[in-house]
């Protein structure tokens, strides 16, 4: 096996390990892209919200899943996070 193949195999193994860690975490983990579309949704997030990963991926987190009373506050927090602000 070439060094390049060994490196690719190791990267794949690490990616699988990270995926398993995220999926089995005892806390909800979700991710959004710069447009606010859900691109990550772990098992605990699905359990708590009762939305499967398949139901949420590609949809707007704030627009589709946050209640009206919290939309503005959640949007600001997420916008700031995407800009690197705390």
* Pairwise CA distance, residues 35 & 61, whole Å: 10
pLDDT tens readout for residues 45-78: 999 999 999 999 999 999 999 999 999 999 999 9
Q: Are 66 and 74 in contact (CB under 8 A)?
A: yes
| Helix ranges restricted to H, the chain | 3-24, 43-49, 53-56, 61-65, 68-82
pLDDT tens readout for residues 1-58: 699 999 999 999 999 999 898 988 999 999 999 999 999 999 999 999 999 999 999 9
pTM above 0.85, yes or no: no
Residue 85: pLDDT over 90: no
């Amino acid at each position: 096996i070439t060094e390049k193949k060994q490196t690719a195999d190791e990267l794949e193994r690490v990616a699988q390990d990270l995926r398993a860690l995220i999926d089995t975490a005892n806390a909800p983990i979700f991710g959004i892209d710069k447009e606010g579309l859900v691109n990550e949704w772990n098992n605990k997030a699905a359990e708590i919200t009762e939305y499967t990963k398949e139901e949420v991926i590609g949809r707007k987190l704030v627009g589709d899943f946050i209640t009206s009373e919290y939309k503005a506050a959640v949007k600001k927090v997420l916008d700031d996070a995407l800009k690197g602000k705390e």
